[in-house]
């Protein structure tokens, strides 16, 4: 790879960076860093060209597709995006995708080519004063993308956040960066060329950008920016590791193949001591009263609690633990159990779902089939599920639901 892929990619990346320079230079002419000017049609055109060129540049570097989770809030709603962890050159990817302003040093202008690109996005240079001024503009300025760690790290943990992004006391949107490729993990952040070399040698470099929910500070946090920064850091640290922990627990649960665990085994599974709290949690999942639980139920509940707005990800995780190795489907009774845990209800009955799928004689379903059905029927829970104390129980009789839709297509 070092003698074939690396030089070709380096050449292409350099070419597209040079190609972007005249666009950024032209659009930067006469542009003030301290006043908002109307976005003329030709500057909008240049902005579009730069986004395309930079995306092609990253594609040539091996970042063929970039997974984006969540939604980026509008500048009028959230003026500041806090991004972490900061570990390499490639953290510039979300900057070029959004063309947000960033905080940078004055000497960055002198960097060949890249300095012109930085100038184009009108970086923040007077730090706290300028951050506060732009944040208070009500969305007139572009969003500011800040790496609150203030330096590059090795991604092993989030270091103490600097308070600059939190001094205005306004809502922020945390953004978590992930690089699943372990081969390019920067264990030595001083070896910048090594990171570049290893990255460009990889056939594909996966990357994830997750926009977390908006964080609105409390009155105490507004008065104490250090507290505000620390609480956001804790939130982002949990988000950075939560998915990995759940995936790891799901894989271990799959290997158990439905074996039920006693309290001591449950504690060993979680690598925790047996305490009163753990005993109480274990008893919550002891459906048969014999002192044993199906660990898959716990993993589903944990994912539901930690990711309440990402029910489809929890559903996908659950399918992995229950699905057959042959074709990836699960039994109707297992799906009912999954939904009971996720919805916090009892006695889920799925005949309405399977009748609507025109598969009354098939008691199995795949994740893709269910996902497609839910996308086509946004009121899936209300119209296609029955369970104990369902608000539609008074008119539960098939073939019609409360909204008059006929589910019996036979």
**Any domain includes 374:** no
Per-residue pLDDT, 403: 43
Per-residue pLDDT, 406: 42
The two three-digit tokens of residue 120, written as one number: 């184009």
Per-residue pLDDT, 283: 94
The average pLDDT across 349-367 equals: 80
**Any domain includes 387:** no
- How far apart CA 318 and CA 334 sit, in angstroms, is 10
CATH for 50: 3.40.1130
CA 235 to chain centre: 13
| 166 pLDDT above the threshold of 90 | yes
Residues 22-48: tens digit of each pLDDT: 999 988 887 777 777 667 788 889 889
- How far apart CA 352 and CA 198 sit, in angstroms, is 53
- How far apart CA 392 and CA 65 sit, in angstroms, is 44
- How far apart CA 300 and CA 338 sit, in angstroms, is 7
What letters, b where the CB count within 10 A reaches 16 and e where it falls short, cover 243-264?
A: beebeebbeebbeeeeebbebe
- How far apart CA 342 and CA 297 sit, in angstroms, is 10
Greatest mean pLDDT range, 139-143, 233-237, 299-303: 299-303
**Any domain includes 34:** yes
**Any domain includes 187:** yes
Residues 237-295: tens digit of each pLDDT: 887 777 778 888 899 999 888 889 999 999 999 888 899 999 999 999 998 899 999 99
- How far apart CA 382 and CA 352 sit, in angstroms, is 11
Per-residue pLDDT, 57: 96
**Any domain includes 32:** yes
Per-residue pLDDT, 360: 56
The residue written with tokens 């760690």 in the block is: 149
For residue 208, list its beta bridge partners: 67, 178
| 410 pLDDT above the threshold of 50 | no
**To the nearest whole percent, how much of the chain has pLDDT over 90?**
43
- How far apart CA 403 and CA 382 sit, in angstroms, is 10
Question: Going along 255-366, which residue ranges are E strands?
Answer: 260-261, 293-294, 329-331, 364-366
Per-residue pLDDT, 361: 58
- How far apart CA 269 and CA 302 sit, in angstroms, is 14
- Burial-class residue 41 by CB neighbours within 10 Å (0-12, 13-18, 19+): exposed
Domain count, the chain: 1
- How far apart CA 323 and CA 338 sit, in angstroms, is 12
Residue 158 CA: distances (Å) to CA of 83, 342, 407? 11, 31, 51
**Any domain includes 391:** no
**Any domain includes 259:** no
Residues 91-117: tens digit of each pLDDT: 999 999 999 998 887 777 778 888 888
The average pLDDT across 153-176 equals: 86
The residue written with tokens 């399977």 in the block is: 354
Instruction: Provide the domain limits for residue 75.
Output: 5-240
pLDDT band at 359 (very low <50, low <70, confident <90, very high): low
- How far apart CA 151 and CA 183 sit, in angstroms, is 22
Residues 48-92: tens digit of each pLDDT: 999 999 999 999 999 999 989 889 999 989 999 999 988 888 899
- Burial-class residue 29 by CB neighbours within 10 Å (0-12, 13-18, 19+): exposed
The average pLDDT across 210-230 equals: 93
Residues 323-334: tens digit of each pLDDT: 988 888 899 999
Per-residue pLDDT, 8: 95
Cβ neighbours of residue 104 closer than 8 Å, sequence gap 6 or more: 118, 123, 124, 125
Helix pair angle (276-284, 263-270), 10° resolution: 110
Per-residue pLDDT, 408: 40
Q: Do residues 148 and 162 make contact, with C-beta atoms less than 8 angstroms apart?
A: yes
**Any domain includes 150:** yes
């Amino acid at each position: 790879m070092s003698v074939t892929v690396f030089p070709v990619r380096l050449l292409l990346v350099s070419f597209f960076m040079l190609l972007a320079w005249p666009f950024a230079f032209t659009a930067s002419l006469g542009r003030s860093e301290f006043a908002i000017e109307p976005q003329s049609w030709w500057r909008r055109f240049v902005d579009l060209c730069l986004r395309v060129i930079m995306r092609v540049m990253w594609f040539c570097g091996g970042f063929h597709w970039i997974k984006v989770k969540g939604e980026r809030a509008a500048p009028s709603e959230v003026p500041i995006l806090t991004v972490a962890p900061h570990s390499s050159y490639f953290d510039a990817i979300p900057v070029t995708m959004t063309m947000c302003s960033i905080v940078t040093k004055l000497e960055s202008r002198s960097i060949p080519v890249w300095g012109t690109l930085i100038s184009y996005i009108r970086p923040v240079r007077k730090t706290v004063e300028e951050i506060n001024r732009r944040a208070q503009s009500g969305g007139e300025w572009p969003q500011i993308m800040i790496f609150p760690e203030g330096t590059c790290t090795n991604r092993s943990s989030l270091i103490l956040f600097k308070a600059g992004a939190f001094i205005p006391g306004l809502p922020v949107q945390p953004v978590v960066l992930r690089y699943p490729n372990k081969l390019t993990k920067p264990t030595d952040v001083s070896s910048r060329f090594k990171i570049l070399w290893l990255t460009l040698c990889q056939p594909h470099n996966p990357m994830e950008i997750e926009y977390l929910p908006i964080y609105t500070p409390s009155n105490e946090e507004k008065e104490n920016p250090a507290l505000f920064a620390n609480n956001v850091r804790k939130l982002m640290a949990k988000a950075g590791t939560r998915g990995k922990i759940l995936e790891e627990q799901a894989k271990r649960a799959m290997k158990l193949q439905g074996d039920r665990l006693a309290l001591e085994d449950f504690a060993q599974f979680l690598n925790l001591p047996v305490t009163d709290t753990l005993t109480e949690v274990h008893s919550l999942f002891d459906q048969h009263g014999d002192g044993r639980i199906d660990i898959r139920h716990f993993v589903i509940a944990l994912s539901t609690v930690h990711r309440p707005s990402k029910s489809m990800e929890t559903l996908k995780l659950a399918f992995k633990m229950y699905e057959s190795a042959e074709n990836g489907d699960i039994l109707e009774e297992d799906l009912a159990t999954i939904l009971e845990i996720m919805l916090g209800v009892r006695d889920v009955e799925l005949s309405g779902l399977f009748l609507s799928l025109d598969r009354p004689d098939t008691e199995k379903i795949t994740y893709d089939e269910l996902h497609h059905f839910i996308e086509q029927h946004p009121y899936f829970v209300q119209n296609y599920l029955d369970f104990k104390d369902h608000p539609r129980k008074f008119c539960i009789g098939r073939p019609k639901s409360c909204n008059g839709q006929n589910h019996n297509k036979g």
